[in-house]
Structure 1
Amino acid sequence: MGRGLAARSRRGPVFAGVDLDVPAGGLAVVHGPGGSGRSALLLALGGRLRLAAGELRVGDHLASRGLGALRAASTVARIRPGIEPDEGVRVRDLERWSVLASAGRSTADGIHDAYALLGVDPDRARPLGDLHPLDGLLVVVAHAAAEGRPLLLVDDVDAGLTPADLERAWTALDALADAGPTVIAAAVAPPAGVDHVPVALGHPTGADRAVARGGAEAPTADGAPPPADASPPADASPPSAASPRSAASPTPAASPAVDRPPDGTAPAPSRPDGADSAPSADGDAAPEGPA
Structure 2
Amino acid sequence: MDGPHGLGVTAEDFGLEGPRGRVFGGLRVDAEPGSLIAIEGPSGSGRTCLLLALTGRMRPTEGTARVGSSRLPQQMAAVRRTSGLAHVPGVTDLDPALTVGEHLRERALLEQRFGGPLRGLLRSWSKGARLAGGQARTGGRAAGAKLRIDSALSAAGLDRESLPKGSRTAVRDLERLESLRLSIALALIGRPRLLGVDDTDLKLSDSERAEVWALLRSIADSGTTVVAVCSEAPEGAVVVSTRPHGEQGAAAEDAATPADADATTATDSATPMDAGTPTDSTADTGTALATRDGGPAQNTPATGAGTPDKNTPDDEETADALAETGRS
- TM-score normalised by length of structure 2: 0.64
Q: Does 1:245 find its partner at 2:286?
A: no
Residue of structure 2 in register with 1:113 after alignment: 151
What whole-Å deviation, never above 9, does each CA across 1:141-170 have from its counterpart, x for those lacking one? Answer: 112112112101110001221111110011
Query: What are the within-5 Å matches in structure 2 for residues 1-291 of structure 1?
Result: 1-103=10-112, 107-122=145-160, 123-192=166-235, 195-204=236-245, 219-227=271-279, 230-232=280-282, 245=296, 274=321
CA contact (8 A) 1:61 1:69 kept: yes
What fraction of aligned residue pairs are identical, expressed as a percent? 30
Q: Distance in 1 between matches of 2:157 and 2:192?
A: 20
SS of match in other structure, 1:3: strand
Pairwise CA distance, 1:234: 8.1
Q: Distance in 2 between matches of 1:78 and 1:116?
A: 18
Give the direction of change, closer, same or farther, for the CA distance of 1:2–1:11 in structure 2 (3 Å limit): same
Q: Distance in 1 between matches of 2:31 and 2:68?
A: 10
SS of match in other structure, 1:21: strand
Q: Distance in 2 between matches of 1:65 and 1:3?
A: 15
**4+ long deviations beyond 6 Å:** none
| Residues matched between the structures, number | 231
Pairwise CA distance, 1:116: 2.2
Give the direction of change, closer, same or farther, for the CA distance of 1:114–1:64 in structure 2 (3 Å limit): closer
Q: Distance in 1 between matches of 2:60 and 2:67?
A: 14
Q: Distance in 2 between matches of 1:148 and 1:184?
A: 15
- TM-score normalised by length of structure 1: 0.72
Structure 2 residues without counterparts, runs of 5 or longer: 1-9, 117-143, 161-165, 247-269, 286-294, 298-318
Q: Distance in 2 between matches of 1:79 and 1:85?
A: 10
Q: Distance in 1 between matches of 2:104 and 2:324?
A: 22
Q: Distance in 1 between matches of 2:82 and 2:56?
A: 9
- The amino acid of 1:223's aligned partner reads A
Give the direction of change, closer, same or farther, for the CA distance of 1:276–1:203 in structure 2 (3 Å limit): farther
State which drifts further: 172-181 or 114-123: 114-123
Pairwise CA distance, 1:275: 5.7
Pairwise CA distance, 1:108: 2.4
Give the direction of change, closer, same or farther, for the CA distance of 1:171–1:11 in structure 2 (3 Å limit): same
Pairwise CA distance, 1:127: 1.9
Residue of structure 2 in register with 1:269 after alignment: none
Q: Distance in 2 between matches of 1:185 and 1:38?
A: 9
Q: Distance in 2 between matches of 1:277 and 1:180?
A: 19
Q: Distance in 1 between matches of 2:320 and 2:170?
A: 21
Give the direction of change, closer, same or farther, for the CA distance of 1:133–1:277 in structure 2 (3 Å limit): closer
What whole-Å deviation, never above 9, does each CA across 1:229-252 have from its counterpart, x for those lacking one? Answer: x222689xxxxxxxx529xxxxxx
- The amino acid of 1:99's aligned partner reads A
Q: Distance in 1 between matches of 2:209 and 2:194?
A: 22
State which drifts further: 104-113 or 53-62: 104-113
Q: Distance in 1 between matches of 2:182 and 2:271?
A: 33
Pairwise CA distance, 1:76: 0.9
Give the direction of change, closer, same or farther, for the CA distance of 1:277–1:93 in structure 2 (3 Å limit): closer
Q: Distance in 2 between matches of 1:6 and 1:41?
A: 8
State which drifts further: 116-125 or 66-75: 116-125
CA contact (8 A) 1:35 1:233 kept: no
Pairwise CA distance, 1:78: 2.6
CA contact (8 A) 1:10 1:232 kept: yes
Give the direction of change, closer, same or farther, for the CA distance of 1:222–1:204 in structure 2 (3 Å limit): farther
- The amino acid of 1:245's aligned partner reads P
CA contact (8 A) 2:87 2:198 kept: yes
